Amino acid sequence: MTHTWRISTVVDAARARVDAARLVAEHDVPVLDRARLVTALTAQLRQSLDKGGTWRLTLHATRPSRRHERSQLRLTLRPAPDDGPPEQPTWRASVLAAEPDDRAAPASPTGGPEALAEALLGADDDTARVLDALTEQETLVDFHREELHQTNQGVLALHAELDAAGEAQRELFAAERAARTEAEEARSRLTFLADSSDALTASLNHGEIVRLLPQLLMPAYARSVDVWLLSDEDAERGHGPRPAAAVLAARSGRPQYAAAHPGGLPGVDDRPPSALQPTRPHLCLPLSARRTTLGVLILTPPGERWDPDDAVMLIELARRAGTAIDNAQRFEHNRDIAETLQRALLTDLPSTPGLHLAARYLPATHGLNIGGDWYDAFRQPDGSLIAVIGDVTGHGLHAAVMMSQLRTALRAYAVDGGSPGRLLTRLHVFLHHLQPDLYATAVIARFRPGERVLTWAAAGHPPPVLRTPDGRVRTLDDKPGAMLGIPLRQDIEDHTVELPPGATLALYTDGLVERRAQGIDPGIERLTEAMSALAARDLTHGLESAADQILDPLLRDSERDDDVCLLLCHVEEAAPR
């Protein structure tokens, strides 16, 4: 379907516009598309009239080639071939429409200008509908704009909350890092304090502890370290003056900090700077033990000043160092007393015709180096020689004192005579009443001039070992008595054995033969082997050397955690009767 209009005047243009608008409306073209098409056509018609000549407007409706497709309206405005302006471009426009009807060309409006004006007024209905639709769209746009504004406000509020949460999270992370760093520093201080305490308490020599303190503290916690012991007069003779704060710390027993500015250290008194080094702060920590100040630890800081937590740790270290020094000094004092007592108790062996004696006493390498082991040899009024070796349970000064009392009591009982068994029985009663919670072991051998018989008795002690002149060795393991001092009444028996000239008797304590992992029996076997390996001439002419030859192989694998005592008794070949 095609409609054509010739346009040369304004009236022709108005009628063509009205007819085209009506046809487009009859083809159910949407209002918005229709308004756009008619508006564009009106503008082109106005331009064409301004250019002059005759123009031809064509409206062509096409049918769809497939089902469910819409038809198309095409408008074409071009100059008329017979009277149009030359070389003018053709204007074209198209819209989708419903399927067209086969109708005749529309009649031009009649009735003069009034009918044309009425048609023109009706043609603006599309514009009104477009304006209404535009108003609705503006209302909808305003609604969506308000929604978008509210959404933006929510987004801004959400961003503000996220920023606040992020800032709080950053603060938490910073606090966590600071707490982790503080915990690591605290752990490092505690580890240093524990390791230093172990090192200080590992020694019982106060001089070693004093030398160890600078090694522990420099350079991490102090630039310089001075240990001032109040009782060490030898060290003070060559030492210069010390800061006044150190003297005050020694007198008051409180930590002192001497510097130009207050240190703010917990538990530390602030003092003016030292006149000896006014530019360097001094931290003076008392070395105290049992409410007594033993000395002062004088420190200068590794940097400008100390951290308060470091100062607390240093105060605790000084307290532990004071305790370690006090323990070492007390141990050294007790050790000196014990060693003096031990030397006083180990008297010289008597000289007896036809009988040679040799003894060895080796204190344990741990502890006070003194225990309850003892040996003794003395004559009875009838001329017999008593050889005894014993061991009081425990170590230290108390064991040495009890050993001394037993030794003295034995000598007193031996004045009245009596056999070895009788003497041990009296010692048992004496120890049980003197110290009910203390026990001892002992073995006594009696040599009588002119007799080739040895009388001996044992109370809970390792058995004596006898070497005959032919080199054979036997253990005198006849039934012994129980330990001395146990809550049991006992009469310890005497035992006798033939004692030919050239025989050697070995009395010893368990420290010589007992090993923790092996027991005592393997040690006794090794002792018998060592005795058997001795040459006869060594026993006759060098009993002291023979004692060393016995000790050497037996102590080679010993930890020396117990005292060792050995007493050798050798009968000469031609002993007088």
Beta strands in 460-563 (DSSP E): 465-467, 473-475, 495-498, 504-508
The pLDDT tens digits of the residues spanning 325-349 come to 999 998 888 777 767 776 676 778 8
Residue 101's pLDDT is: 54
Residue 481 pairs in a beta bridge with 459
Q: pTM of the full predicted structure?
A: 0.53
Q: What is the CATH number of domain 203-333?
A: 3.30.450.40
H/E stretch holding 14 reads: helix 10-26
- Percentages helix, strand, coil for the chain (3-state, rounded to 5) are 45, 25, 35
C-beta separation of 73 from 57 below 8 A: no
- What does DSSP say about strands 269-271 and 256-258: parallel, antiparallel, or unpaired? parallel
For residue 507, count CB atoms less than 10 angstroms from its CB and return exposed for 0-12, middle for 13-18, buried for 19 or more: buried
Instruction: Write out the chain's pLDDT in tens, 577 residues.
Output: 789 999 988 888 888 888 888 888 888 888 888 888 888 988 988 988 888 889 999 998 887 777 666 788 899 989 888 776 767 788 999 888 876 555 444 444 444 666 666 666 666 677 777 778 788 888 888 899 899 999 999 899 999 999 999 999 999 998 989 888 888 988 998 999 999 999 999 888 898 999 999 999 999 899 999 999 988 776 676 677 889 999 999 999 999 999 989 888 999 999 999 888 888 899 999 999 988 999 999 999 998 888 899 999 999 999 999 999 999 998 888 777 767 776 676 778 888 888 999 999 887 765 555 667 889 999 999 889 999 999 998 776 777 788 888 999 999 999 988 899 999 999 999 998 888 888 999 999 999 988 899 999 999 999 999 999 988 999 998 889 999 999 999 999 999 999 999 999 999 998 899 887 778 899 999 999 999 998 888 788 888 899 999 998 888 776 666 788 999 999 987 644 4
C-beta separation of 294 from 318 below 8 A: no
Distance of CA 86 to the CA centre of its chain: 102
Task: State the average pLDDT for the chain.
Answer: 86
Domain boundaries, the chain: 2-123, 203-333, 346-571
C-beta separation of 13 from 7 below 8 A: yes
Closest listed residue to residue 499, CA positions, set 474, 529, 535:
474
C-beta separation of 80 from 6 below 8 A: yes
Q: What is the CATH number of domain 346-571?
A: 3.60.40.10
User: Can you give the C-alpha Rg of the chain in angstroms?
Assistant: 62
The pLDDT tens digits of the residues spanning 296-332 come to 999 999 988 888 999 999 999 999 999 999 999 988 8
Residue 390 has phi, psi (to 5 degrees) of -150, 175
C-beta separation of 384 from 449 below 8 A: yes
